[in-house]
Structure 1
């Protein structure tokens, strides 16, 4: 990991300690980008517990990638109920 990514992650972790749910989602995105899908899932689950629809959409995406379309749809439905446009789009895809 390059130094700027490490600084980003360190800053995000400090923000998480301060209660920033968006930082939790961003840590999930960083983990997913680096290929650590297990850690990404953990961060997304934490954010989803706080009603963060972006995390729910991402959890749906992880489920879809693993072939679990029922779980993907469940996550997208939860996010769509919160008004998330990405989730609504995914639910309307064939």
Structure 2
């Protein structure tokens, strides 16, 4: 369970990550998302943000791992919208990796 204090910490980490992304510092943004996931591992949105950021950082293997984790949580939550986002993210990562058959 995420307490109010931990929730505030997550919000701060997400704000910092967004600032790093806006400045094109994707590795620093990814570190902020990973720190947020240390607090709340079951948040599919953060896994998706991490995957997107790692894609832009060029770390396709880890980006795909994050997207798969997002997808797994979305399935457990029975969230079709989150599942669709995860599938789109995975397709984009496969496309960037040159695996057009999966994209």
Normalising by the smaller structure, the TM-score range is 0.5 to 0.7
1:1-94, aligned counterparts within 5 Å? 18-20=5-7, 21-49=10-38, 50-51=40-41, 52-83=43-74, 84-85=82-83, 86-93=85-92, 94=103
RMSD (Å) for aligned C-alpha atoms: 2.3
User: Would the aligned equivalents of 1:25 and 1:54 in 2 still touch at CA under 8 Å?
Assistant: no
Inter-partner Cα distance in structure 2 for 1:42 and 1:77: 18
What are structure 1's unaligned runs of at least 5 residues?
Answer: 1-16
User: Would the aligned equivalents of 2:51 and 2:65 in 1 still touch at CA under 8 Å?
Assistant: yes
What are structure 2's unaligned runs of at least 5 residues?
Answer: 75-81, 93-102
User: Would the aligned equivalents of 1:28 and 1:39 in 2 still touch at CA under 8 Å?
Assistant: yes
What TM-score does the superposition give when structure 2 sets the normalisation length?
A: 0.59
May I ask how many residue pairs the two structures share in their alignment?
Answer: 78
Specify whether residues 40 and 92 from structure 1 end up closer, same or farther in structure 2 by C-alpha distance, changes over 3 A only. closer
What TM-score does the superposition give when structure 1 sets the normalisation length?
A: 0.63
